[in-house]
């Protein structure tokens, strides 16, 4: 069953998603050379407290961090720790919060200073694909239409999508039906209906598609150690145009 939210529940989702977007924007401002990923994770707890929300990730299947913070070849699910961010890195910040019993989920990749041109293009293309796929998420379309668009655009730009990890429904729970792969065939999968709230999140590798999980049982890295980009919005399906519930300002290079 794919949950359909009532108007009152959608209002609650708007609050949680706005909170997630605000926390993410604050954290992105902290990403600079010399700061540890642990510093950013600790700041996340403070920012969430300020916004009267809490982490949706901490303790989820025993995940130990407030947010997921993944650097360069780390794709997703990185854990804040002693790693110091360096000039030229790209840092993925994935924020999930719970406010009033509802989850907001959003992510972006932050460049640290003047990054390599090939990496800069990877980030720009990935974010652009997310921006352009969201209008496709209209009532009456199918999940496969979203998946196929992402895959086609990623491949057309010479990159590869991560296949092991996917987007998903979000609401009272961090992960709800339906799953939203970043690959697939148009015209397939569940039909989109007003009241669905979906976390759409392209994960795009500069190199090959293969990934592996490190010994911490969480951090996912590219098998070839090439960089990966990740952007995510929680999107509401309506009777008209889809709405971005986690809208935020565009990233600015540091």
Average pLDDT across each block of 10 residues of the chain; the chain has 254 residues. List them in order.
Answer: 97 98 97 98 98 98 98 98 98 98 98 97 98 98 98 98 98 98 98 98 98 98 98 98 88 46
Residues 6+ apart with CB under 8 A from 181: 147, 163, 166, 167
CA distance 234 to 199: 4
| CB 41, CB 218: distance < 8 Å | no
29: alpha, beta or left? (left if phi > 0; alpha if psi -120 to 50): alpha
Predicted pLDDT of residue 252: 47
Q: How many CB atoms lie within 10 A of CB 121?
A: 16
CA distance 182 to 200: 9
Predicted pLDDT of residue 199: 98
In this structure, what token pair is assigned to residue 14? 């708007």
Nearest to 177 by CA among 164, 163, 167, 165: 167
CA distance 250 to 243: 17
In this structure, what token pair is assigned to residue 254? 């540091």
Structural domains in the chain plus CATH codes: 7-244 (3.90.230.10)
Predicted pLDDT of residue 248: 76
Predicted pLDDT of residue 144: 98
Predicted pLDDT of residue 74: 98
232: alpha, beta or left? (left if phi > 0; alpha if psi -120 to 50): beta
Predicted pLDDT of residue 253: 45
Q: How many CB atoms lie within 10 A of CB 54?
A: 17
Nearest to 228 by CA among 90, 136, 133: 90
CA distance 130 to 61: 27
CA distance 179 to 198: 9
Predicted pLDDT of residue 12: 98
């Amino acid at each position: 069953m794919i949950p359909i939210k009532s108007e009152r529940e959608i209002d609650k989702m708007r609050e949680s998603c706005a909170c997630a977007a605000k926390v993410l924007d604050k954290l992105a401002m902290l990403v600079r050379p010399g700061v540890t990923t642990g510093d950013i994770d600790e700041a996340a707890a403070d920012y969430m407290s300020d916004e009267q929300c809490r982490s949706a990730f901490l303790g989820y299947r025993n995940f130990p961090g407030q947010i997921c913070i993944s650097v360069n070849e780390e794709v997703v699910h990185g854990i804040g720790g002693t790693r110091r961010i360096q000039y030229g890195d790209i840092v993925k910040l994935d924020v999930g919060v719970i406010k009033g019993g509802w989850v907001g989920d959003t992510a972006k990749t932050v460049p640290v200073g003047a990054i390599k041109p090939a990496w800069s293009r990877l980030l720009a293309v990935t974010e652009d694909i997310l921006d352009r796929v969201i209008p496709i998420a209209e009532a009456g379309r199918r999940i496969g239409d979203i998946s196929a668009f992402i895959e086609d655009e990623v491949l057309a730009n010479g990159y590869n999508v991560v296949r092991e990890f996917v987007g998903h429904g979000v609401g009272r729970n961090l992960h709800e039906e339906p799953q939203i792969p970043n690959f697939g065939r148009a015209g397939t999968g569940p039909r989109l209906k007003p009241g669905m709230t979906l976390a759409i999140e392209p994960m795009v590798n500069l190199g090959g598609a293969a990934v592996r999980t490190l010994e911490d049982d969480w951090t996912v890295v590219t098998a070839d150690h090439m960089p990966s980009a990740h952007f995510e919005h929680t999107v509401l399906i309506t009777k008209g145009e889809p709405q971005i519930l986690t809208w935020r300002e565009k990233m600015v290079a540091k």
